[in-house]
Amino acid sequence: MFSAHHLNKELPAPIIRNFWQKVGASQHQSRSLESVMAKINQNKMPKTPYKKDAIIYAANDRSDSVYLVHTGSVQIETKNGMVLGELGQGELFGEVGLITAEMRTVTVRAKTDCIVIKISEPVFQEKMKQADPICYAIIRGLALRINDANNLAEKYWKELSIYKSLDQ
């Protein structure tokens, strides 16, 4: 079944997590997540706590960093409040704006009390420069497609809202 959650800008991480769970490799994924979190802790990247419902960034904000959920969960919403998905520990968000060099296209809100790690644009760009050019092209293409899919989902959501209002 297809849902708005599948249009999430941070879609690859949930898909990977679900894949590992389905193939019975959750221990592998768990060890991998622990390894990533340990490296982040070693780098002393700043951790910022957010209370439930706090906005981490809003649509149309400048794209100046990528975020990693350290604890808790966040919710991704369109400009008009359509929920696109939820991300938890070890998942990244905010990369699309940096890859496409555009303003933020979604709002990210703390779904629970959470701690997020902010990865600065220079650090992110340095990592992207180290990537194979073909991988970078694939990542950029996926980011552009996700942007388009989110815009289309919101358009259909607005149209559905209009039709529902006519029934009342």
CA–CA separation, 37 vs 31, rounded Å?
A: 10
Q: How sure is the predictor about 128, in pLDDT bands with cuts at 50, 70 and 90?
A: confident
Give the per-residue pLDDT at 18. 45
Give the number of C-alpha atoms closer than 13 A to the C-alpha of residue 113, restricted to the C-beta side: 2
* CA 91 from centre of chain: 7
Instruction: Please indicate, yes or no, whether the overall pTM of this predicted structure exceeds 0.75.
Output: no
Give the number of other CB atoms < 10 A from CB of residue 86. Answer: 17
